[in-house]
Structure formats: C-alpha cells, structure tokens
Structure 1
Amino acid sequence: MNDEEINHYNFNMLEGKIDSRLLKSLSTMGIEKPTPIQAKTLPHILIGEDIIGAAKTGSGKTLAFLVPVVDKLINLGFSKNKGVGCLIISPTRELALQTNEVLKKLLVNIPLTHSLIIGGEKKLKEVVLLQKGVNIIVGTPGRILDHLENTRNFSYKNLKCLVLDEADKLLEAGFEKHIVGIIKKLPSNRQTVLFSATIDDKIESLAKLALKNNPKVIAVKDYKQSTVTGLQQGYCICPVENRICWLYKMLKKSKKKKVMVFFSSCKSVDFHYEFFKTHCKASVLSIHGKQSQPRRKNCYNTFVNADKGTLFCTDVAARGLDIPSVDWIVQYDPPTDMKEYIHRVGRTARGLNSSGNAVILLRPEEEDFIEYLKREKVYLDKYNFGDPPVEVQKMLEDLIKKDGTMKVLARKAYLSFLRCYNKHPLNKVFNIKKLDLKAAAKAFGFIEQPHVDFLKARKRI
C-alpha cells in the first residue's frame, strides 16, 4: 500500500471484510482513519500471514494487531470451552494494562472472554479464570510462563495467534529466556505477529525462533531514525547546581499542562516527588519499577484521566504507554542512548495529526549529545528558559538541614545520580570525570558534598 492509498484509507472500507461489531466499536471509540502502520499491516494479518511490524513509537501498533486478532477468533467461533485463542505478550505491566483497556472497548458487543495476566496481582484469581476458559490473554512474560508451566487445566492447545508487542523492549528487559520458554510450550501451527519500534540482530534472531519462514516485514518510512512530525524538540543548557531551580521554573510555567519528567533512577524520582509534592505543593504523581503494583496502577490511571499535572517517572514509562494529551516531555536526566531518547519523547504527539513538545536538560559540557542525535536524524532547537529562581535553592538547602527524612532521600538520590553517570554507556558525553561533585550535590540541597565511596581514585571537589 503506497502513501496515496494510505491517505484515502479508512476503517469503513473494511465493511464486509471484518465483523461489523468491530467497526461499530471503532466508531464508538472515535476512530475512523487508520494510522500508516495499521493500514499497512491489517490486510496481511487478516489473511493469517506472519509479520514483523516496525514503526515509530506512538504510531498505533496496538489496534494494528487487536482488530485482526479479534476478527479471527470471531470467525473461528471461539468460546470459553475452546480456551486461549490469542496470547499477547507485553514488556511492562503498564503496557499490558493499557492494551487490555483498548481490548475491553473493542469487545463491548462481542462475546469473547479476555484476561490480564501480570505479576503483582493475585495468582489464584488468575488460575480460576484460566481454568474457566479465556479466549484472549494480555500479559507479561514471567507470569504467563508460570501459568503455562504450573496451572492445571489451562487450555492453550487451540492457540491461533501469538503477539509479541514491543519486542525490542522485551529483549532489553531480559525476557529472552521467558519468551523462548513460552514459544516452546505453544502449538507451532499458529500465526505470529511481532511488533517493534526498532529492528536489529536480536529482533531478527527472535523472529527466526517465533515466526514461520519468510514473514512479511512491514515498516513505515524512516522508522529507525526519526521522531513523529508533530513533535517540537529542544534542549536547554543548565549548570548542574541550578538543575532543581530549572525544574521548578519549568513546572511552574507548565502548571496548566500535562507533563512527564524522566529521571535516571527510582531514588531520584522519590526525592523529587517528595520535594515538589509536599514542599512546593505541586500537582505531581510518580511511577517507577520499585513501587508496588497497586500504587503504579493507581498513578497510571490517575494520570491517564487527568487533563493537567505532572508525572515523575523512570524509563519504565518510556515504552508503549499511550497516555492521552501529554503536552511536554522533560528529560531531566539523560537517556542511556539515542533509542531511549526517542522512546521517551514518543509519549507525546501520538497518533494522527497530534502535536507535542519535548526538552532535554544538559550540562554545558554535554552539548555534544545534540550531534549524536543529529546522526539519528533527530534535530533539536536550543531553548532559553531565562534565569533560575534562586529562592528555590535556598528553600531546598534549608529543608535538607532541618528535615532528616528529606536528607536521607536526597543523599540516596544524589548517589544514584552519580552511579548512573558512572556507568553511562555514552561516557564520552556524560562523563563523571568532568562532573563537579560538590556542584552536583547542590542540586539535591547539600551545601557540603556527601561522602561518595564508589568512585575510585576520585578527589572530592
């Protein structure tokens, strides 16, 4: 399908080709025109072909596989007694939760059963559902493999379709052994769909294991290099000791907007959340991988439904999450690589005709990172946010002197910040040897630098 055909394509053109109830659900959801990756992959998935779908983050991959999967199971007459017809594997609980919510909307008038299978939830409840019979499972690799190996009367021998969503993230998160274990358990006579934001040697190896010979590789143009068209991107140069003041000003300027702020560690999220929520009275939420599942789920749902506010997060929120109407992405701490940069900014300007903004905060010594992004065809403007509000620095320093709890949080955050710099893959740019440790400590409220015991042969500045 060429670009001109995609521009004139809409879901109503599938009338008579897919179940009318699916078209009704899409209409109710306000979706009339497919995104390019949906338009390109739907015809192939509908006729049962194995595919590797590659597209930029935020391109609409979820509906690209859900629509044909549901249509297939309807046509095959699936019911509870047939067990699992489709298994959808996601790299994170949040993405699985999001996919399940979209699936719920598609199945409003369709009698197929579905279940969310993720770690952190009560396993016994899942066992009961699986034994009763579930047609579509959305879940994370560890919990799914656990059920395949240990849950009695879990009927999956009739499986017709396996979907590996965000496959590159599945591999990055260390799930390769789980995926291999799952694939070995499943019937070989099935359709397999693999979606990924990027394709590399590891993805190709996984595809050889999971897919039939000669799968269709379907990609939208420049999926490896560029971010979406509606995204306005920039960077701001800020001395390390002024970082907290810069963030305060950024959040104040965007208090009527919806903002995501990315940090490099869970401890840094906790410290900044406590400071801005409790002591600056800012409207902030937080998500990171060490929180309990109920808390993560509650924060995610709250932010999804909010029309303004700020989410402090680690890269656990950088992949696949479709949070509506995010106005700004702030990369307060640097990403681990260019690919992670692209996934972070992909949380805004999602879908057709969408727009959004992104800014990354860099030290003066780190401006070379912009050249690395240019090599990936990502171009940033230089922003100037003006002078930082110095009174915020004084407030934080006074707080750290008086509040023992905040002092502990600040020290943990400071040390984790240094550890992330110390092991950063792109150490030619993000070089801890060029980092003034005492100045960096000021960004966490310390007048005197805390002791650092893991930097060998490093003098205190």
Structure 2
Amino acid sequence: MEHVTEGSWESLPVPLHPRVLGALRELGFPCMTPVQSATIPLFMKNKDVAAEAVTGSGKTLAFVIPIVEILLRREEKLKKSQVGAIIITPTRELAVQIDEVLAHFTKPFPQFSQILWIGGRNPGEDVERFKAQGGNIVVATPGRLEDMFRRKADGLDLASCVKALDVLVLDEADRLLDMGFEASINTILEFLPKQRRTGLFSATQTQEVENLVRAGLRNPVRISVKEKGVAASSTQKTPSRLQNYYMVCKADEKFNQLVHFLRNRKQEKHLVFFSTCACVEYYGKALEALVKSVAIMCIHGKMKYKRNKIFMEFRKLQSGILVCTDVMARGIDIPEVNWVLQYDPPSNASAFVHRCGRTARIGHGGSALVFLLPMEESYINFLAINQKCPLQEMRLQKNTVDLLPKLKALGLADRAMFEKGMKAFVSFIQAYAKHECNLIFRLKDLDFASLARGFALLKMPKMPELRGKHFPEFVPVDINTDTIPFKDKIREKQRQKLLERKQQERTENEGRRKFIKNKAWSKQKAKKEKKKKMNEKRKRQEGSDVEDEDMEELLHDTRLLKKFKKGKITEEEFEKGLLTGGKRTSKLDLGALDLEGDS
C-alpha cells in the first residue's frame, strides 16, 4: 500500500476511545501520518501487519494506539500478572522512549500496568517489580526479555503469564536482526501463544526481515508507505524535508571544520556521530574543552548505567551537542534536532540513512552533513544508487582556526587525554578495516600521517596495521610520553605505584635471569669435566694398552678395509696402504672385523 494520505483520528473505521483521543491532542498530534492511517485500522481488525516506512514517519504511535485499543476491547479483563502485549525493540534508549510514549496513553487507564525491561538494570529488581506491580504491557530489549523467561528460580513463571498475550510488536525489526538478536527472538517466539496479533515495523526490508515475517506472522498484510511527492518508482528512504549535505576535507582538517561548524550554531541542537566508542570518549572531551557555553554529552554502547540518564537529559535540552555512536542511530526520537553530523561515515550504508533520520522527523525540517576524505568521495554516488539518498556538496568553511595544537596540548597536560587519543586512533583504523563498503573505504589508501595529525597524536601507536611503515610527514613530540602525568592526582598516584612495582619486578627478573645463566654455564662446565673424568676412568678399568699412535693406525687400517670390501680399491692398493700406514697388520685381526654391508 503506497501514498496513503494523512487523515483525522476521528475518520478511522474503528472509533478510538475518547481518552486515547485526548492523549493524542495533549501530545500535539491532530492528524494521522500515512503509516498510522495505513496500519492502525488493519491492526485493530485482527490482522498481522509487516510495515515498512521511512524513518521519522510516526511508526511508534502506529502500534501503541492499537495495543491500548485492543486491550480495552478484551472481553476478559487482564489480571495483574497477565501480559497482554509485548513490544520488543533493539536498544535501551528506544525502549525507554516507547515506554514514555506508551505512558501517555495508559495513564488515563489505571487498570493497565506497564513495565520496562532493559539491560543496565538489576534483573532481580525487575522480577520483584513485576511480582509487585504486574505488567500488562511489557516494553523490552530482546536479551533482557529472554533472560526473564528463564528466571523460574526467582519465582517468575513468565511463560504462564504470556498465555493471555494479544499483541506482539517487533520494532526496528531489521536492526534487531543486524545486532545479532535472531537467536533471542526465536527463543522468545517459542514461549508465546500462536493465536496473537503480530506487528513488524522497520525502515528497511531485508531478507532477514522477510524470513522473520514468514516465521512469526500469519498471512500478514504488507504495508510500504512513502511520503507525498515521492515518485512511485522511487524507494527513497530519507524524509523529503531532510536536507542532506557532504563536505570533502583532509583528515587533518576535519576536526577544525567540525569545531568551526558547532561554534557558529551554539543555539541549535546537534547529534555528532563517530564510528567507535573510543572516538566518542576522545572527541567528546575535546569538544567540551574547545566549544564553550554549550551543553555537550556523550553516549556509546559501552556505557552501562549512565546511558538512560544522559539520553533523557539531552531530550529535554533546547540546545546542545550529543556525541554518540550508532547506538543512537535507530528509532530514537529526540525533539527538534537541527543537524545530524557524521564525523565518520558508518560501517554500513543503511546506518547512514538511519543516522540522518534523527532529524526532520514527523513533518519537521532538518539537515544532515557527512565529512568525507578526498579518497572517499565516490561514496556520494554509492549512496545515491544504493540508498536512494542524494547529497549536496557543502564547501569548506573559511577562516577556520587550527585547534590541533590545543588538542595536542590537552594530551601533554593530562595522560587520560593522551591515552584516549591513542585508543581512538587504533579503534578508528580497526573499524575502517571492517567497513562494509571496502571498495571505497580502503585501509591501504589511508594517509596515516594526516590521520594521526587529525587525532593530534603525540606519537604513533604500535599496532599490526602500521607495522613496517614509516611516516616522515608525522613528527612525534620530543618527550618521553611515559612522563606525562594524569591530571587526576589519585590516578597518577596509582600509576606511580604501578610503575614502581613493575620496575621492582623487572630488577628481580633480571637478577634471576643472570643467576640462572651463570648456573647453567657452571653446570655445563662441570658436565664436561665429569665426562672427561669418566672416559679416563673407563680406560683405566678396561686396562687398555693401546696408545694414541696405535689407535690412529688401527683406525687407518679399518678405513682401508672398508674401501676394499666395497670395491673402491684393489687388493694390491689395500696391501700397499697397510704397508704405508706405518706398521704391519699384525696389530689388526682382519678376520675379527665383520664389515659386510657396512656403509
């Protein structure tokens, strides 16, 4: 189904509850988006749906409203411990966001309880909360939900609680599978009743999603919604109100361009995407130091307990900068984001579209900018063809200030900053080497010297990718980096203790090695002397009267006999050789030597 027009909530064939309509008005949604007007009626008529729509098109309300309406229309009311609906989503942030939206619609209906199960929280506390408060609607990430099904030892029999399940929703289904949750999803599906309504929502339709549709949905209605003004032949995946730009600059110019851009737009709200957690940590600190009078926050996947708090705080800000990885690329709805800046292109093309989709959401305008190295410029054509995502060029900004010396000075002043820079550089190269589009993003074409200058490194790190390479265009600092202290006095004190302990161990090991070496040499000498004495003793015990000269003559005669037996010399030569050996063969009993076949 394509080009479904917007419509009023009152025009739905199945009328919505007055309190649901009231919640929609409070949230500021006077009419439906195309994906909502296409999906909600089908969902409410007991149909399974597989919906594909561009990011930012209002998919969350497309399943939240039917869930509330379906549970309201149940003949048998849900008990506290019965689960009527489950919403599964790939990230904690998206789960928190859905839970927040859902709360607006369950608030007028105290008979419904909802619960959020995500990573980064104590699972034992989640179990106790469910026992105490129930959870008619569960919003969860796949890993935590699977874990809850296995927690029978804690007194939770979730498999029994889901027997009354009416609705299952898989949100951002393509990302669920991208992130390796397929096994968890399959395990969860085994616990759920077959008689249910299932909704599968995604921005892109992949083969893995198609396989999931076949496995989890019964005769689904497929919905593919495009925005007005987009040609039927087009498969554009970004909102039409999104202005997409790219900027080509060298690796050692990129940071200066970013800072200049952000300094000139302090009153706006921005997301800045980096390829790795280490890059977020490093450049987040760098921006905090160099872009003043603006709130700067960082989020990445390795944060366990801070993520939810930071996410919620940033959503409330009128202006600010969120430095993040792709953990914030999918489904996250942050109000009024003006610019999405991609400092590093993502590892796969679909993530590019999802990053851009954090702005220009649900009818609003927005802009996105990706920074590219000169060798990466062909990525523009690739995105236009592969993702139907055309980009306009943005020229380099003029009058930028070179801030790399200041960034280098931060590393010299604080070991924490120096180490963050080294880790960021290493992680960037490792991520670059794994890029999905490796015909464009080729590690061998990277200008490592320019890249190291762009990271304001004090020296090149030791890593396999740089082994055997020389970088005359990169000049390391003329100091011993081991002497750079931590600004944090406690950390520096711990580091000094560690250095002392290592030095002590090194000294002890050197002494031990020296001692072992001397001992081994003396043992070797003693062994030789012992062998010599044993030989002399054996000779004495055997009573041998054969002198050295006689022994040499005996060996000479033996060699001649071997040659004669092998036919290498004649009998005449043999006899002559015995005579010239210095003594007659009377000393050698030739008959006693059985040398046949000796070789």
Alignment TM class, shorter chain as reference: over 0.9
Alpha-carbon offset, residue 278 of structure 1: 3.7
Q: Which residue of 2 aligns with 1:340?
A: 351
SS of 2:370's equivalent in the other structure is: strand
1-side partners of 2:26 and 2:86: how far apart? 25
Is 1:197 the counterpart of 2:203 in the alignment? yes
Which deviates more from structure 2 when the two are superposed, residues 223-232 or residues 200-209? 223-232
Which 10-residue stretch deviates more, 231-240 or 416-425?
A: 416-425
Deviations 1:257-299 (A, max 9, x none): 1000000000000001111214543521010000123x11111
Identity %: 37
SS of the equivalent of 2:464 reads coil
Q: Using the alignment, how far apart are the partners of 1:217 and 1:457 within structure 2?
A: 55
Q: What amino acid is the match of 1:118?
A: I
Partner in structure 2 of residue 6 of structure 1? 5
Does residue 379 of structure 2 align to residue 380 of structure 1?
A: no
CA–CA separation in structure 1 for the residues paired with 2:237 and 2:71: 35
Alignment correspondent of 2:315: 304
- Give, in whole Å, the separation in 2 of the partners of 1:53 and 1:342: 18
CA distance in 1, matches of 2:281, 2:341: 17
Which of residues 280, 286, 311 is equivalent to 2:298? 286
> Which of 49, 60, 64 is the aligned partner of 1:66?
64
User: Distance in 1 between the 2:221 and 2:13 partners?
Assistant: 24
The residue type equivalent to 1:143 in the other structure is R
* Residues 4-33 of structure 1: CA deviation (Å, up to 9, x unaligned): x724x1112248622221111111111111
Q: Is contact 2:35–2:62 with CA below 8 Å preserved after alignment?
A: yes
Counterpart Cα distance in 2 of 1:200 and 1:454? 33
Among candidates 295, 320, 337, match of residue 326 of structure 1: 337
Q: Which moved more, 1:332-341 or 1:309-318?
A: 332-341
Larger Rg: 2
Over the aligned positions, Cα root-mean-square deviation in angstroms equals: 1.8
Partner of 1:180: 186
Residues 356-399 of structure 1 show CA distances to partners (whole Å, capped at 9, x for unaligned) of 00000001111100000110321111101323634412211222
Q: Which residue, 42, 45, 64 being the options, matches 2:43?
A: 45
Q: Is the 8 A contact 1:82 1:158 kept in 2?
A: no
Q: Which has the higher contact order (CA 8 A, sep 6+)?
A: 1
Q: CA deviation at 1:126?
A: 1.6
- Tell me, in whole angstroms, the C-alpha distance in 2 between the residues paired with 1:109 and 1:65: 18
In terms of mean alpha carbon deviation, does 247-256 or 260-269 score higher? 247-256
- Long gaps (5+) in structure 2: 227-231, 473-599
Q: CA distance change for structure 1 residues 456 and 216 in 2, over 3 Å: closer, same or farther? A: farther
Q: Are 2:399 and 1:394 aligned?
A: no
Instruction: Please tell me whether the aligned partners of residues 349 and 355 of structure 1 are also in contact (alpha carbons under 8 angstroms).
Output: yes
- The aligned residue for residue 597 of structure 2 is none
Number of positions where the alignment pairs a residue of Structure 1 with one of Structure 2: 456
Aligned-pair CA distance for 1:320: 0.4
Q: Which structure 1 segments of 5+ residues have no match?
A: none
Q: Secondary structure at the match of 2:368?
A: strand
Alignment partners' CA distance in 2, 1:288 and 1:314: 5
The one-character-per-residue Cα deviations of 1:307-347 (angstroms, maximum 9, x if unpaired) are 10100000000000011100000000011222111000000
- Residue equivalent to 1:102: 101
Distance 2:468 2:283 in 1: 30
Instruction: State which drifts further: 185-194 or 214-223.
Output: 214-223
**Aligned pair 1:371/2:381, yes or no?**
yes
Q: What pairs with 1:12-51 in structure 2 (closer than 5 Å)? A: 12-14=10-12, 17-51=15-49
Q: Corresponding residue for 1:414?
A: 425
- Decide whether the 8 Å contact of 1:51 with 1:217 is kept in 2: yes
Identify the residue that residue 358 of structure 1 maps to in structure 2: 368
TM-score normalised by length of structure 2: 0.73
TM-score by length of 1: 0.95
Instruction: Write the distance in 1 (CA, Å) between the matches of 2:341 and 2:460.
Output: 26
Residues 1:250 and 2:256 are matched in the alignment = no
Partner of 1:219: 224
Tell me how far 1:200 sits from its aligned partner.
Answer: 1.7
Which secondary structure state, in structure 2, belongs to the residue aligned with residue 6 of structure 1?
A: coil
In the alignment, the residues of structure 2 paired with residue 153 and residue 2 of structure 1 have an alpha-carbon distance, to the nearest angstrom, of: 43
In the TM superposition, residue 243 of structure 1 has moved relative to its aligned partner by: 1.5
Any idea what SS the aligned residue of 1:115 has?
strand
Aligned residue in 2 for 1:209:
215
Q: Tell me how far apart the structure 2 counterparts of residues 2 and 459 of structure 1 sit (CA, whole Å).
A: 57
The 3 A distance-change label for structure 1 pair 458 and 55 is farther
Residue 174 of structure 2 aligns to a residue whose secondary structure is helix
Confirm or deny: 8 A CA contact 2:14 2:44 kept in the other structure. Answer: no
Shift of 1:456: 5.9
Distance 2:377 2:465 in 1: 27
> Contact 2:260 / 2:400 at 8 angstroms: preserved in 1?
yes
Does the 8 Å contact 1:78/1:85 carry over to 2?
no
Hey, what's the Cα distance between the residues in 2 that align with 1:46 and 1:16? 8
Identify the match of residue 168 of structure 1 among 168, 174, 184.
174
Q: Which residue type is aligned with residue 104 of structure 1?
A: A
